[in-house]
A and B are shown apart, each in its own frame.
Chain A
């Protein structure tokens, strides 16, 4: 089993995004580093638009993730409703 991960610049928007990820991915590990936050999940991570909207209190386009994104790992699949990272073994 391998981890996929995603990292964001630490700010008020990404705080809501990370909360949404943790809510939707119970096996997530959050690692806070200077100015950034990295979230690891075994095998697959799903980031849902609806969960972020709930946390952030406004409509959210998943492509906005690009703004605060630092890096990621795993195969990407992005639709209007979910952004998914996975390893396929």
Chain B
């Protein structure tokens, strides 16, 4: 890229003039009326001018660099599509990870756009307001580039066509959806800690760095381009999250316990959502860059460890669930994929039992757990499938009231025992997958009793189309729920083996290599 470097002003001066200098104090209205949400969370801010974006990015420079990122991104996407890049993938099994991404992650990018527009409006300081405005624009760019990039797959493969409809309805998609609804319905400071700090700083590297590097490794230039392009914005987002935390803590000592509680809560909420990423990395990439466990060690233990060691000077400690999350790294992806294998009839993507070669890799990466706890289960299912009895679970699982994930997580110190926790509230019993989720509920029960739990809703009859007749003698609840999800039975779901996607991919690849 050819850029003219002729500067009239230094970076610091430019930032001051074009960001903080644009601030004014209202006189027709009281400040507290202009920014009405600043007091109720209990956070005390005395001097907003103390916040400074360390990138010192001004709006004019923002547009210039974002435009350049977009040009690069669309050049790659065009080239990939024009050359039938999808036929260069390692294997079409990989595409199922993209279906999960589009239905589970891209709608959250859009919600992040709304969230940052909303909280940016609430902050009385020009520094955070401008940084939030930029992040809001970044996030809508992410959702758009993901939709554009993945729309090419929708021309050839099943399961992409109803992603937005499904995000609001399908059982496991309530996990990411409720996570973001929880964040966006909290106050502006909590939202900044939830998304800006806990999710962006501590956790998104795990989603966008090793998984997207994996996309490149599997021949998907489209996902690589949007993933890395998005992550380049994340560097700013992470920095905004970290600067906001430091700013809040430096403003008043009373802020510390409130912030620590939010960090505990949002680390755990975000970590639970990443369960999906763990299984994408270990089970859905035909060719893998690193295991979930290795990624956790680099990006959570090492990098998060450095972060919390640094924040210790403010009195911040590692989040409450940290120790358990570190223990879980040996189990998380295996337990999650087993559940999706079970419920392969009720999801709009294909599942499969890992091949012998896949299992060799898993054994090598998870020497203490895979062969002992998980290999026998997958071998059993593979054998059943071979004999014509591919197992599909026909019953519905119990869900955690907080994270909404089926109750399949095991006790931190006993991987053979499912963890169950419960609380009573106003005479009703609520169930949880972990101490982390129970603590979150116990602190704000009025919020979480309202959770829209897909399994409960199905049993209450709220997940059928208007034409469904539950009193009909041949009424099939699963088939009716799939209709409401807009999943076509036998085409969008079930095992990858024998699927239309598999047949098409193999036939097209064959056709692409000769006449």
Question: A35-B216, A67-B72, A67-B232 are known contacts. Are A61 and B5 too (CB-CB below 8 A)?
Answer: yes
> Do B213 and A34 touch (CB < 8 A)?
yes
Across the interface, which residues of A come within 8 angstroms of B3, CB to CB? 59, 61, 64
Residue A70 CB within 8 A of the other chain:
yes
Chain B residue nearest to A58 in the complex (CB): B2
In the complex, B178 has a CB within 8 A of chain A: no
Residues of chain B at interface, number, CB under 8 A: 45
The winner among A2, A72, A73, A78 for most chain B CB atoms within 10 A is A73
Interface positions, chain A 34-66, Cβ under 8 Å from B, are 34-36, 59-61, 63-64, 66
Residues of B within 8 A of A73 (CB): 238, 303, 306-307
When chains A and B are docked, how far (Å) is the Cα of A77 from the Cα of B246?
14
Please state if A71 and B208 are interface contacts (CB–CB under 8 Å).
Answer: yes
Contact of A71 with B231 in the complex, beta carbons under 8 Å: yes
Nearest CB in chain A: distance from B74 CB, A: 14
Nearest residue (CB) in A for B287 is A34
Please state if A70 and B232 are interface contacts (CB–CB under 8 Å). yes
Bound together, the chains give a CA A87 to CA B238 distance in angstroms of: 15
Cα separation A33 to B55 with both chains bound (whole Å): 26
Among candidates B209, B242, B310, B312, residue contacting A7 with C-beta atoms closer than 8 Å = B209
B57 within 8 A of A: yes
Chain A minimum-CB-distance residue to B9 = A80
Q: 1/0 per position for B190-228, CB-CB distance to A under 8 A?
A: 000000000000000100111011101100000010001
Q: A1-57: which have CB < 8 Å to B? A: 2-5, 7, 9, 13, 33-36
Interface string of B82-119 (1 = CB under 8 A from A): 00000000000000000000000000000000000000
Known A-B contacts A3-B306, A9-B228, A76-B54; the reply to A64 vs B209 at CB < 8 A is no
Complex interface: chain A residues within 8 A of B11 (CB): 78-80
Q: Are B213 and A79 in contact (CB under 8 A)?
A: no
Contact B5–A35 (Cβ < 8 Å) = no
A70, A75, A77, A88: the one within 8 Å of B228 (CB):
A70
* B69 CB contact (under 8 Å) in A59, A61, A67, A89: A67
Q: Given the complex, which residues of A lie within 8 Å of B307, measured CB to CB?
A: 73
Assess whether A35 is in contact with B239, with CB atoms less than 8 Å apart. Answer: no
With A61-B3, A69-B232 known to touch, is A33 a contact of B289 (CB < 8 Å)? Answer: yes
> Is there contact, CB below 8 Å, between A78 and B232?
no
User: What is the distance, in angstroms, from A71's C-beta to the closest C-beta of chain B?
Assistant: 5
Q: Is the CB of A69 within 8 A of B54?
A: no
Name the contact of B68 in the complex, choosing from A67, A71, A72 (C-beta under 8 A).
A67
Contact yes or no, B55 A35, CB < 8 A: no
A2 in contact with B306 (CB, 8 Å): yes
The answer to whether the Cβ of B235 comes within 8 Å of any Cβ in the partner chain is yes
Q: Which residues of A contact B412 (CB under 8 A)?
A: none
28 A–B pairs (Cβ distance < 8 Å), ordered by A: A2-B309, A3-B303, A7-B209, A9-B232, A35-B216, A36-B209, A36-B216, A63-B55, A63-B57, A64-B3, A64-B65, A67-B65, A67-B68, A67-B69, A67-B72, A70-B232, A71-B205, A71-B231, A71-B234, A72-B235, A73-B238, A75-B54, A76-B55, A78-B55, A79-B11, A79-B56, A88-B310, A88-B313
Where the two chains meet, the residues of B that have a C-beta atom closer than 8 Å to any C-beta of A are 1, 3, 5, 7, 10-12, 54-57, 61, 65, 68-69, 72, 205, 208-210, 212-214, 216-217, 224, 228, 231-232, 234-236, 238-239, 242, 289, 302-303, 305-307, 309-310, 312-313
